[in-house]
Amino acid sequence: MTSRPERVSIVVPCYNEAARLNAAAFIGIAKLGHLSLLFVDDGSVDETAEILKGMAFEHDGVQVLVLPANMGKAEAVRAGMNSALAEGFSVVGYCDADLATPPSELIRLVDALVGNVEFTAVFGSRVARLGSSIDRSNARHYFGRVFASVASWALGITVYDTQCGAKVFRATPELRAALAEPFPSTWGFDVRLLSRLLNGTEHVPGMSPNSFLEVPLREWRDVKGSKVALSGAALALADVIKLRFERAPRS
C-alpha cells in the first residue's frame, strides 16, 4: 500500500454546472480522506455557487473559490491551483466537473504520483484498449488524435493525450513559475502548461520530459453537455500551432 502525502488538493473548475454536478459523488471522494477538493466557481449564473457552498458546509474536505466573473477554464484552473499552492498542499491537480474521469481513476493518478518519487506530474490518458472502458465519440477520438499529434510536434516530445481533464503535479518551483501568468488560450492551456514546465522561465529552469508520466485510464466516459464547442477546439488547435513557433529550441 502506497503512502500518501498529508495534503493533496484537486481543483474542479465549474461554470453553470448546477444541472449535472454530481454532489454525492464528490462528497464521497472527500470522505475517503485521500485528498481535498477545491471547487472554483467561474462566474456561474445558475445555482452552481449555492450547491458548492452547501457541499463545503457538509464536509471539511471541500473548499470553494468563487471568481467574480467568468474567466474561462484555464484561468479557473490556474486560480485554483495557485490557491492550493499558497495553502501549502504538496500535490495539486485538476479534474473536470462532469467526472468523465471516475473518482477511482482520479485517486489512482494521485497514487501513481505519490508512489513514484521520480515523477513530478502524472496525466490521465484515454487509450482505448482491451480491458479498458473508454466511452468516447468517434468525432472526439479522431480530433483528439490529430490534436495530440500537433501537440507533440509543438512540444518536441511524444504525448498521447494532452487534453484529458485529469492531471496531478508535485508542488515545485517549476509549477509555481508555470502558473504565474495567465494562459492565452482557454482550451489549449493544458499544452501551454506542459510547455512552460518543460521550457522553464527566465529564473526557473525547465523539467525533463522523463519526470512526466502518462497513465492509461481504465475507465472514462463522454458526458453529455460538454462545453467544448467545435469553434473552441479549432481555436485550441490554432493556439498549439502558434506555440510551436514561439517555443525556444530545447537544449
> Which grid cell sits at 197?
514546465
SS3 40: strand
The pTM assigned to this predicted structure is: 0.92
* Residue range(s) defining the domain that contains residue 125: 8-246
With 0-12 / 13-18 / 19 or more C-beta atoms within 10 angstroms meaning exposed / middle / buried, residue 230 is exposed
Written as one letter, the residue type at 245 is: F
Domain presence at residue 41: yes
Residue 251, domain member (yes or no): no
135-172 pLDDT, tens per residue?
A: 988 888 888 899 999 999 999 999 999 999 999 999 99
Residue 68 lies inside a defined structural domain of this protein: yes
Number of domains in the chain: 1
- Residue 16: helix, strand or coil by DSSP? coil
Q: How far apart, in Å, do the first and last CA atoms of the chain sit?
A: 39
At 65 the three-state DSSP class reads strand
Q: Is residue 201 part of a domain?
A: yes
Q: What percentage of the chain exceeds 70 in pLDDT?
A: 93
Q: What digits encode the pLDDT tens for the residues 59-101? A: 999 999 999 999 999 999 999 999 999 999 999 999 999 999 9
pLDDT digits (tens, 9 = 90+) for 199-222: 998 889 999 999 999 999 999 998
SS3 per residue for 82-120? HHHHHCCCCEEEECCCCCCCCHHHHHHHHHHHHCCCCCC
pLDDT, tens digit, for every residue of 182-198?
A: 998 787 899 999 999 99
- In the predicted structure, residue 2 carries a pLDDT above the cut 80: no
Judge whether 199 lies within some domain. yes
Q: Over the chain, what is the mean pLDDT?
A: 91
Give the model's pLDDT for residue 6: 66
| Model confidence pLDDT, tens digit, residues 20-33 | 999 999 999 999 88
CATH number of the domain encompassing residue 95: 3.90.550.10
Nearest CA-CA partner of 34 in 130, 138, 168, 235: 168
Residue appearing with cell numbers 483528439: 144
